[in-house]
Amino acid sequence: MQRLLMALTLGLLASNTMAQQMYQWQDERGVTQYGQLPPAGSTYQQIRVQPSPPPGGQLRAPPPLPLKADTRAADAAAEQRRQERARAEQLAATCEKLRTNLDTLRDNPRLRRTNDAGEVERIGEDERQRLISQTQDNLQATCGNQP
């Protein structure tokens, strides 16, 4: 069975490759003649030979390609949403850092910092209260009522 299918397949492929150019001409009696070789010393014209349709009917024309929608507006909207998400994530990180700093300032009355000269110095209570107030203002201005 497999050999039969292989022979049929090769036969169909060979029939397409064996198709040659056909010529049409009129002989000396005025009868139209057809052949695969053009006549010598006579006018002729080439004929385009259409292959026969496949078994079972004619080939269908391929469906038209769908029109590509203009995606520039959708791409711009997606980019805008991505930028808004990035800004929201950055704002959330900033707010979290301000909250952490505020908690540190409130919970530790004995804070120290390193000055520009590289020396460790203790932060006094007046300056700690000023930093708490400043951090609260920054938190309110930046984050508003965000949790």
pLDDT in tens, 16-67: 555 567 888 888 888 888 888 888 878 888 887 766 766 776 667 777 777 6
Is pLDDT above 90 for 96?
Answer: yes
Domain ranges, residue 135: 82-143
For residue 95, the tally of other CB atoms under 10 A from its CB is 17
Q: Is residue 75 part of a domain?
A: no
pTM, two decimals, is: 0.46
Q: Is residue 60 part of a domain?
A: no
Same domain, 96 and 43: no
Residue 37 confidence (pLDDT): 83
What are the two backbone dihedrals, phi and then psi, of residue 114, each rounded to the nearest 5 degrees? -100, 125
Q: Is residue 61 part of a domain?
A: no
Q: Is residue 11 part of a domain?
A: yes
Q: Is residue 104 part of a domain?
A: yes
Closest CA to 135 of 112, 103, 88: 103
Number of domains in the chain: 2
Q: What percent of the chain is predicted at pLDDT more than 90?
A: 23
Q: Is residue 63 part of a domain?
A: no
